[in-house]
């Protein structure tokens, strides 16, 4: 049995600049971290020659061509697996529409598991990320960027720079600011919103027309890095997150709605420094930056939502043959 897991991620600033349509015009930048919540994948060979899949649904088919789950089907094809396998996934959090890069976390864990399962080898972070990008972007033509795959494959707190000739991942070492940010960051589950694919398609279509907005989003990254180095007061992180959310809404108005706008206003009124919806928007998790001693007041203000504390994770993608 092969067991693998890959972490989910949250990003603070720079989201949306990881689309190739944007960074081929210059470069993209994102500051993100993985968290201690994971997508788990198990694989075993199946004597009956069929493909058995257990995720949020159940599939039992005779060939890879019959598999309905697009990511799983293409990953199996990539490794030449046509039949005779059973796979199950378990997520630490609601995965569908979470805004935490769940599809890429699944794919990174699955690719690492399949590599060990079929070839007896594990992949380094860069190759793992690129294989996941190849499956999602090249083969499946998903309207997405590359930050989720790289975040899940490299793990930890990173500044990721996207260029056509290379993608650079720079780990950010823990310091007092990062420790404070970990304590100050909390997630609240909004529930599942509209299909993230619709929002991402609109983002992709609007890149050339609204490139200036993405330039502003990208330029928040050096500011955030300065803040991590001790620049300005702690609350400035919230200001940058608020700006990131404003630029996100300017790019794709469908990322928000009246309910989300009100919840963010309520959180800030209760003492939060900043808030934004993770990922594509419209649903999933709301990320709130708040002094730890004021989080109880924010919990009350957002009492209709389920809160979740987490730690920033840097344990790496794990895979084992047991």
Q: pLDDT tens digit string along 198-249?
A: 666 877 777 778 899 999 999 999 999 999 999 889 999 999 999 999 999 9
Alpha carbons 37 and 186: distance in angstroms, whole number: 13
* pLDDT digit string, tens, across residues 46-67: 989 999 999 999 999 999 999 9
- 225 token code pair: 């890095």
Q: Does residue 162 sit in the same domain as residue 22?
A: yes
Asked if residue 321 belongs to a domain, the reply is: no
Contact 7, 106 (CB under 8 A): no
Asked if residue 317 belongs to a domain, the reply is: no
Alpha carbons 254 and 248: distance in angstroms, whole number: 10
Record the pTM: 0.94
Alpha carbons 301 and 285: distance in angstroms, whole number: 16
In DSSP terms, 157 is beta-bridged to 33
Q: Does residue 34 sit in the same domain as residue 158?
A: yes
Asked if residue 116 belongs to a domain, the reply is: yes
Alpha carbons 273 and 65: distance in angstroms, whole number: 49
Domain's final residue, options 156, 173, 190: 173
The CATH number assigned to the domain holding 57 equals 3.30.230.10
Average pLDDT over residues 281-308: 93
- 266 token code pair: 């309520």
Asked if residue 319 belongs to a domain, the reply is: no
Q: Does residue 167 sit in the same domain as residue 181?
A: no
Q: How far is CA 320 from CA 27, 72, 256, in A?
A: 36, 19, 40
Alpha carbons 127 and 153: distance in angstroms, whole number: 9
Q: Does residue 31 sit in the same domain as residue 123?
A: yes
Q: Does residue 305 sit in the same domain as residue 185?
A: yes
Which residues have C-beta within 8 Å of that of residue 78, sequence separation ≥ 6? Answer: 111, 114, 131, 134, 135, 139
Burial classification of residue 139, based on how many CB atoms lie within 10 Å of its CB (0-12 exposed, 13-18 middle, 19 or more buried): middle
Q: Does residue 67 sit in the same domain as residue 84?
A: yes
* pLDDT for 140: 93
Contact 14, 242 (CB under 8 A): no
- 106 token code pair: 């699944």
In this structure, what DSSP letter does residue 253 have? G
Domain's final residue, options 173, 206, 229: 173
Q: Does residue 98 sit in the same domain as residue 236?
A: no
* pLDDT digit string, tens, across residues 64-111: 999 999 999 999 999 999 999 999 999 998 877 789 999 999 999 999
Q: Does residue 163 sit in the same domain as residue 183?
A: no
The CATH number assigned to the domain holding 204 equals 3.30.70.890
Asked if residue 238 belongs to a domain, the reply is: yes
Alpha carbons 64 and 112: distance in angstroms, whole number: 19
Q: Does residue 87 sit in the same domain as residue 168?
A: yes
Contact 282, 260 (CB under 8 A): yes
Strands 284-289 and 157-162: unpaired
CB count within 10 Å of CB 100 equals 30
Q: Which domain holds residue 200?
A: 176-312
Q: Does residue 73 sit in the same domain as residue 123?
A: yes
* pLDDT digit string, tens, across residues 145-204: 999 999 999 999 999 999 999 999 999 999 999 999 999 999 999 987 555 666 668 777
Asked if residue 322 belongs to a domain, the reply is: no
Q: Please state the φ and ψ torsions of residue 211, each to the nearest 5 degrees.
A: -55, -35
| Percent helix, strand and coil across the chain, each to the nearest 5 | 40, 25, 35
Asked if residue 48 belongs to a domain, the reply is: yes
Q: Does residue 127 sit in the same domain as residue 144?
A: yes
Domain's final residue, options 173, 205, 233: 173
Phi-psi region of 202 (alpha: psi -120 to 50; beta: other; left: phi over 0): alpha
* pLDDT digit string, tens, across residues 268-279: 999 999 999 998
Which residues have C-beta within 8 Å of that of residue 142, sequence separation ≥ 6? Answer: 136, 197, 200
Q: Does residue 153 sit in the same domain as residue 185?
A: no
* pLDDT for 64: 94
* pLDDT digit string, tens, across residues 4-37: 999 999 999 999 999 999 999 999 999 999 999 9
Domain count, the chain: 2
């Amino acid at each position: 049995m092969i067991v693998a897991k890959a972490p989910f991620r949250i990003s603070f600033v720079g989201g949306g600049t990881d689309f190739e349509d944007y960074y081929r015009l210059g470069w993209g930048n994102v500051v993100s971290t993985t968290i201690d919540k994971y997508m788990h994948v198990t694989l075993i060979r199946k004597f009956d020659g069929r493909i058995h899949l257990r995720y949020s649904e159940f599939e039992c088919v005779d060939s890879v061509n019959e598999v309905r789950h697009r990511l799983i089907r293409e990953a199996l094809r990539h490794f030449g697996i046509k039949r005779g396998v059973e796979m199950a996934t378990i997520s630490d959090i609601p995965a569908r529409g979470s805004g935490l890069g769940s599809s890429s976390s699944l794919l990174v864990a699955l690719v690492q598991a399949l590599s060990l399962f079929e070839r007896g080898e594990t992949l380094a972070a860069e190759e793992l990320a690129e294989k996941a990008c190849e499956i999602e972007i090249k083969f499946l033509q998903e309207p997405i960027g590359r930050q989720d795959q790289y975040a899940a494959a490299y793990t930890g707190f990173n500044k990721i720079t996207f260029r056509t000739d290379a993608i650079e991942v720079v780990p950010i070492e823990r310091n007092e600011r990062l420790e404070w940010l970990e304590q100050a960051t909390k997630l609240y589950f909004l529930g599942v919103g509209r299909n993230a694919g619709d929002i991402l398609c609109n983002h992709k279509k609007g890149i050339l027309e609204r490139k200036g907005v993405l330039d502003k989003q990208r330029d928040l990254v050096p500011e955030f890095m300065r803040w991590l180095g001790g620049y300005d007061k702690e609350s400035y992180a919230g200001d940058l997150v608020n700006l990131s959310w404003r630029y996100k809404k300017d790019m794709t108005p469908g990322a928000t709605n009246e309910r989300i706008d009100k919840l963010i206003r309520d959180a800030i009124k209760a003492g939060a420094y900043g808030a934004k919806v993770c990922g594509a928007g419209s649903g999933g998790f709301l990320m709130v930056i708040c002094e730890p001693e004021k989080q109880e007041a924010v919990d009350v203000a957002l009492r209709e939502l389920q809160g979740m504390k987490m730690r920033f994770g840097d344990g790496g993608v794990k895979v084992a043959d047991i």
